[in-house]
Chain A
Amino acid sequence: AQSVAQPEDQVNVAEGNPLTVKCTYSVSGNPYLFWYVQYPNRGLQFLLKYITGDNLVKGSYGFEAEFNKSQTSFHLKKPSALVSDSALYFCAVRDHNQGGKLIFGQGTELSVKP
């Protein structure tokens, strides 16, 4: 069965410091991986995706993520955090043999303090 784990419920970072939000996945076939962000009382916004090719994927708002097949990980990173990055972040996986549905992690609350 497909699954996604986000081991940290909350990540606290000082503004200007680098941030990492962790994600590991389990699928039977080749994974398609996604990161979404959710601001309070808002729907999910797409940040970036990995389908194939370069393991380092760049996305919106300066975020990037690195696909690591051997570690089955897809950690989200940003070199310099902003207070406005504070939000709930979801990692999701789609098995290319299982149709279009996304399986989401439990979410990580990112808090960036000035």
Chain B
Amino acid sequence: GAGVSQSPSNKVTEKGKDVELRCDPISGHTALYWYRQSLGQGLEFLIYFQGNSAPDKSGLPSDRFSAERTGGSVSTLTIQRTQQEDSAVYLCASSLERGGPYEQYFGPGTRLTVT
């Protein structure tokens, strides 16, 4: 079946601009996660959505970062007033959760470059 998809695959933006990154999870997966992968920081957790529960935002690095998940499916990660240190690969993952814990399935990522 279809895996996790992310768009765009690459995004180049100027410092100070806002960007939106999109994630389409695997159908039927109730949990959705965003991570960031960068050379200096490795793989970092950003935010986690589980069903209708309040999201776990404990990994968001600043208030410039926000995410939403509409209808329990598609998620958008928004970065406002981008900075050069935001340059990274942003990975989305989804999993089943009830009766878990289940492994997370990752998308191919969005490579963000802030110039």
Query: Which chain A residues have a beta carbon within 8 Å of chain B's beta carbons?
Result: 32, 34, 36, 42-46, 49, 51, 90, 92, 94, 96, 99-107
B56 at the interface (CB under 8 A from A): yes
Cβ contact within 8 Å between A94 and B43 = no
Give the distance to chain B from A57, nearest Cβ to Cβ, in Å. Answer: 12
Residues of B within 8 A of A106 (CB): 42
- Which residue of the partner chain, among B31, B59, B97, B109, contacts A43 with CB atoms under 8 Å? B109
In the assembled complex, 10 residue pairs joining A and B whose CB atoms fall closer than 8 Å, in A order, are A44-B91, A99-B50, A100-B33, A100-B50, A100-B101, A101-B56, A102-B35, A104-B44, A106-B42, A107-B43
What count of chain B residues pass the 8 Å CB interface test?
A: 26
Cβ contact within 8 Å between B45 and A42 = no
Interfacial residues of chain B within 1-59, with CB under 8 A of chain A in the complex: 4, 31, 33, 35, 42-45, 48, 50, 56, 58-59
Cβ contact within 8 Å between A43 and B48 = no
Cβ contact within 8 Å between A101 and B33 = yes
Give the distance to chain B from A91, nearest Cβ to Cβ, in Å. Answer: 11
Cβ contact within 8 Å between B50 and A90 = no
- For the complex, what is the distance from the CA of A99 to the CA of B33, rounded to whole Å? 11
Cβ contact within 8 Å between B101 and A32 = yes
Known: A96-B101, A101-B56, A104-B43. 15 other contacts (CB 8 A): A34-B103, A43-B4, A43-B91, A45-B106, A51-B101, A100-B48, A100-B50, A100-B56, A100-B97, A100-B101, A100-B104, A101-B33, A102-B33, A104-B42, A105-B42
Give the distance to chain B from A113, nearest Cβ to Cβ, in Å. Answer: 25
- Which residue of the partner chain, among A36, A90, A96, A101, contacts B59 with CB atoms under 8 Å? A101
